[in-house]
Amino acid sequence: MIQLFELLGAEDRRYSQFSWRARMALRHKGLKFEITPLLLTDKESIAFANSTSVPVLVDGEAVHTDSWDIAVYLETAYPDAPSLFGGEIGLGLTRVVNSWCDRAVNVAFGPLIVRDVLDAAHPDDREYFRETMEKMFGRTLEEVQEGREARVKNLYRTLDPIRTSFRKGQAYVCGEAPGYADYVVFSQFQWARIVSPFKLLDADDPVFAWRERMLDLFDGFARQTVAYDIAA
Ligand SMILES: N[C@@H](CCC(=O)N[C@@H](CS)C(=O)NCC(=O)O)C(=O)O
């Protein structure tokens, strides 16, 4: 059985957005898997994989430690299951979406919810989380998140490329059906709804409807996890 290591937060919140990319990819491929939740500070449990971060995926002899590498591995190892990328061109384009997400979308989300992540983190991880994040931002988490109501428009603008495509009638980032690029962008929303009650989207935003479609996939797989009610 495939094993996936991910983060355990307070009240069983599974708040690692990168692990959600792997979770959705596994469901897309129709593969059965077991999840091992661990603390952010528990580096021992993933030392076997030479990793200090999750997700970590173990499939027999194969061990992968980065969400992008995991997706590429699943596509290569399970070619007869539904494709995540839709061929070589799709693979290249999805890599661009993955980088856009890591460099722009994630950066737009972070300052809106990072203080809330502290509360969603496991109590034993909070000191480490605050210390590492405040070092990265150069400010307290409270300062970073302050005034977010006025800054949510930055996220709105960042998401314009997908919003415009949805307005043109495209149901998913990948077209008529979801693929890995959808799971990458969705992972950011899933992270946000797991850690924060803050409203990110208006109900009439086409991105809101897309998020609903994503939450409905695989019998409401992503909807079922412990999260805040983000309905408008
Ligand atoms: N590039 C990696 C990033 C993974 C990552 O940053 N994971 C976070 C959790 S969402 C983590 O485990 N961080 C460990 C730490 O901060 O010590 C991927 O795509 O998988």
Q: Are residues 52 and 134 in the same domain?
A: no
Residue 231: pLDDT above 90? Answer: no
Residue 9 maps to a domain: yes
**Angle at alpha carbon of residue 84, lines to 154 and 203, rounded to 5°:** 35
Q: Do residue 72 and residue 94 come from a single domain?
A: no
Residue 22 covered by a domain: yes
What are the structure tokens assigned to 191, written together? 């992270």
User: Closest Cα partner for 198 from 140, 158, 150, 130?
Assistant: 150
154 and 208, same domain (yes or no): yes
Structural domain ending residue among the three candidates 51, 77, 103: 77
List, for residues 115-158, the tens digit of each pLDDT value. 999 999 999 999 999 999 999 999 999 999 999 999 999 999 99
Does 123 fall in a domain? yes
Q: Are residue 215 and residue 115 in the same domain, yes or no?
A: yes
- The angle, 0 to 180 degrees and rounded to 10, between the axes of the packed helices 180-195 and 106-120 is 40
Residue of 40, 44, 53 to test ligand 1 pocket, by largest number of atoms within 8 Å of CB: 53
5 C-beta closer than 6 A to ligand 1: no
Q: From the CB of 52, is ligand 1 less than 6 Å away?
A: yes
Question: Which sign does the torsion angle of CA 166, 96, 116, 53 carry?
Answer: positive
Q: Locate the ligand 1 atom nearest the alpha carbon of residue 15 and give its number.
A: 10
In the predicted model, what is the mean pLDDT of the chain? 97
Atom 2 of ligand 1: nearest residue by CA position:
66
* Same domain as 147, residue 188: yes
Q: Is 82 a member of any domain?
A: no
Q: Does 189 contact ligand 1 (Cβ within 6 A)? A: no
Query: Is it the case that residue 232 has pLDDT exceeding 60?
Result: no
Residues 192-207: what's their mean pLDDT? 97
pTM: 0.98
Strands 33-38 and 56-59: unpaired
Residue 80 tokens read as 């007869």
CA distance readout (Å), 179 to 125, 133, 204: 33, 31, 24
Beta pairing class for 2-7 and 33-38: parallel
Percentage of the residues of the chain whose pLDDT score is greater than 70? 99
Statement to judge: residues 146 and 209 lie in one domain: yes
Same domain, 60 and 94: no
Residue 203 Cα to ligand 1 midpoint, Å, equals: 31
CA distances from 68 to 1, 81, 128 (A): 20, 18, 26
Give the count of domains, the chain: 2
27: CATH: 3.40.30.10
CA–centroid distance, 17 to ligand 1, in Å, is 9
Is residue 7 lining ligand 1, measured as CB closer than 6 Å? yes
The predicted-structure confidence for 170-185, as pLDDT tens digits, reads as follows 999 999 999 999 999 9
User: What does DSSP assign to residue 82?
Assistant: P
What range does the domain containing 9 cover?
2-77
Rounded Cα gap, residues 133 and 155, in angstroms: 20
Kindly report the CATH number assigned to the domain that includes residue 103. Answer: 1.20.1050.10
Report how far apart, in Å, the C-alpha atoms of 196 and of each of 1, 49, 112 are. Answer: 32, 31, 9
